[in-house]
Structure 1
Amino acid sequence: MTPFKLSEEFLAEIEQLIADQKDTEILALLEEVHYADVAEVINELTKDEATYLIKLLDTVKTSDVLTELDEDIREAILASLSAKEIAEEISELDTDDAADIVAELPKEMVQEVISEIEDKGHAKDIVDLLRYNENSAGGLMAKELVKVNENWNVLTCVKEMRAQAENVRRVHSIYVVDDEGKLKGRLSLKDLLTTSTKTHISEVYIPKVDSVNVNEDPEEVARIMSKYDLEAIPVVDEIGRLVGRITIDDIVDVIKEEAEKDYQMAAGITQDVEGDDSIWKLTRARLPWLIIGMMGGIGAASIINSFQAVMIQYKILLIFVPLIQATAGNVGVQSSAIMVQGLANDTVKGEVVKRLLKEFMLGLINGLVLASIVLLISHFAFNTEYLVSATICIALMSVIIIAALIGTFIPVFLDSRGIDPAVATGPFITTGNDIFGILIYFTIAKIILGF
């Protein structure tokens, strides 16, 4: 099957068919198109066109389409639908996706939509999920799962599984609970098929099963599922009762969102923003770090100003200021990026002192290589005196080592204080190392050249 690729021609054809209200041709054109691709098409339409298409397509398909739409587009479409129409759409969704959509509705409309859902059990599950914080395992989980009682025999178990599986799109695992609903373990399908129908589940289930609490942080859930290569993980409440499960598709979304957030923080953007957000929102997200960067530049300029005397006698030093600043910033960002990644993946092991010692040795090696190159360039390309060239090289090595240590220590320090260490990889490290680099550069020059 050839992957769908949205073209201007395809989009223009859809827009024209909508304008002409040629419903049959629209349905024929989109019949074999995956719901995620339909969502891509709708994201490019106007509000009225998008609403027309949603109302035209069958509920089974459009319910999935809604989960894939950009939030702004989905909000606009839902605002044009009645409570009954919204209820029909979310009735086809798993409870986690349905709860996410309901949570986006105006408060005065939530109760109306819930009351319009015909399946009261589904409605109850959605309401139950709404009470959990969206940034928790409870807010991420779905209610759909297959569970069996440890006191059932295999025959009863199979009958119950068949009934439960009708409401579950994908059966990743069979969970075992006791009479109070507490999670006891999981059931192997192979054991179920090869065991006598009269055997009790308590005799064949596997007691070891990874689970997470409803209040667990989504990033921690993602780490656990990634570490143990899980397709799904059960969620338990405060007393150990099985209340839901989280599947890999939800975790992929968490990982994607976290990566986007860290990337923006590393770039010095303090809020979760997108390219089509308002100018005011984008300004608020970017301006704080730009101000910090500007203050850092002013700080570096002040340091240079305090060494005006040396500029008259050793003008060549000024030429290498951009080199010192750029190298300090790059080394710091490299070191901090590795540390942030390690902290996020929980792969940073050992004492901080050992990590710093390792970075010191790495900085020393890199510094020797780069300083040797600069020594040759400064002496032969700029006709710099040997003592001045040596000064530049020693300062460069020192700056590289200090920048590597700062880039390693700051993320660990922030993480220990409960602050997202991703903030360290952006202007925070770059600006800090710019200032330290200039200060170290001229201080070493003053000591060696004696001005």
Structure 2
Amino acid sequence: MVEEKENIQFELTNELIEQVQQLIVENNDKELRALMLDFHHADIAEILDELDLEEAVYIIKLLDSETTSDILMELDEDIRENVLKNLSSKEIAEEIEELDTDDAADMIAELPEDRQEDVISQIEDQEHKAEIQELLAYDEDTAGGLMAKELVKVYETWTVAGCMRRIRGQAKDVTRVHSIYVVDKEDKLIGRLSLKDLITAKSEQKIADIAKDNVDFVNVNEDAEEVAKVMQKYDLEAIPVVDDNQILLGRITIDDIVDVIKEEAEKDYQLAAGITQDVEADDSIVQLTRARLPWLFLGLVGGVGAFLIMEGFQGVFEKYAELFFFTPLIAAMAGNVGVQSSAIIVQGLANDDVKGSVNKRLIKEMFLAALNGVILALFLFLFVWIYKNDMQTALAISASLVAVIIVAGLIGTFIPLFLDKRGIDPAIATGPFITTSNDIFGILIYFWIAKLILNI
């Protein structure tokens, strides 16, 4: 009876890190190599993230390129950049030769331009080299920048038997065969096959007779986010990429799209938090300051604006001082409602769910905000009336709250829709931009309505 190997989840511990570091100090390459090969390449990358640069480079040089190429792609981008600086052009080229073309192009693109040429010149596989150079010509945020050249392609005129023989040679270079793409004699994409279609067909049948012509594809110049939407909508694991003449160029797989979605989510999260550049916690103080300061400055300007508005209503405070103490509540409600409204719209735009008339969307948001505002205002009215025993003041504050919430909801809905129409990332609307603008409008509306109701 064969004993099954227990599947144990990898856990990075201090003891493991210390063990690896000790083996490096002892130059015990044999035991260190044996230890590393027990782990998945993603787990080894996690270990290397915890080591210093010299130790990480030691392990990369110790293991074979077939293993380390995958490890390098799993490393944090900054760590990978530093590791590559400590490898020769020949060593990097050896890593490149083990990678799929899309990953290879990504790794080379991270190198300085002068070093890129040197590394490319060291690649021995001429076909691999040419394909990488082709991919490097595309913008990284397009389908061309995402695609890999590795795929299984068959011609419509082949028989099933002939096709089976030929695809064996192609498939050895493809990590995972999602679909088989059918092209005509000019290499134009005309259909697709599944492995099931091919296996169950008769040997003498022509590929054209069993191919499905309803194949989804994207243009090589399509924006990466649009590619992600297409793959998400049709639940695709891979999608072929064509040029303007429908010539099949490559394919994009789901793992690349997951990276796009993750990067976009991180960017939107930072924009929503008021960070204008793509930064990480480990970046320098100068980089972090440059990313944060613009929106903090906007908040400062908004605060000054709120001060000037309040100063203009100084006479209101003199007669009804209690209005001053409700100012933070009004400002907070305006900011919160605005962020809620904009977040829903931004999410809908990202998922391509926001359709139809802008006016209808604004009317719907106005009624929603009015309903929420009335419910909240009733509670606030009762509180102020009971606490202060002043119905007129309670009415002024609660009525102001309803108006502020309606306006905040409209602003939170309109701004991201407006930015999207202008080609600006609407995620920027969910951050300090909305909060600050709604604070100012909220305070202005609050005192104006209160002054009107109280006859000041």
Choose 184-193 or 367-376, whichever is displaced more: 184-193
Match of 2:43 among 32, 37, 47: 37
Aligned twin of 2:409: 404
Deviations 1:184-225 (A, max 9, x none): 110132332222222211111111101001110000000000
Aligned twin of 1:101: 107
The list of structure 1 runs, each at least 4 consecutive aligned residues, that deviate by more than 6 angstroms after superposition, is none
Count of aligned pairs between the two proteins = 450
Aligned twin of 1:72: 78
The 5 Å alignment of 1:6-405 reads: 6-381=12-387, 383-405=388-410
1:43 match: secondary structure: helix
Distance in 1, matches of 2:22 and 2:330, equals 59
Distance in 1, matches of 2:197 and 2:37, equals 41
**8 Å contact from structure 1 (residues 212, 233) kept in 2:** yes
Distance in 1, matches of 2:98 and 2:194, equals 29
Cα drift, residue 120 of structure 1: 1.3
Aligned twin of 2:423: 418
**8 Å contact from structure 1 (residues 146, 174) kept in 2:** yes
Provide structure 2 residue ranges, at least 5 long, that are not aligned to the other structure: 1-6
2:50 match: secondary structure: coil
Distance in 1, matches of 2:112 and 2:373, equals 58
Distance in 2, matches of 1:365 and 1:305, equals 32
Aligned twin of 2:4: none
Choose 356-365 or 263-272, whichever is displaced more: 356-365
Distance in 1, matches of 2:145 and 2:201, equals 37
The normalised TM-score by structure 1 is: 0.98
Cα drift, residue 384 of structure 1: 4.5
**8 Å contact from structure 1 (residues 316, 384) kept in 2:** no
Match of 1:429 among 430, 434, 439: 434
Cα drift, residue 47 of structure 1: 1.2
Distance in 2, matches of 1:24 and 1:326, equals 63
Cα drift, residue 368 of structure 1: 1.3
The one-letter amino acid of 1:393's match is: S
Distance in 1, matches of 2:267 and 2:416, equals 16
The one-letter amino acid of 1:431's match is: T
Q: CA RMSD in A?
A: 1.0
Provide structure 1 residue ranges, at least 5 long, that are not aligned to the other structure: none
Deviations 1:72-128 (A, max 9, x none): 211111111111111111111100000001111122222222222222111111111
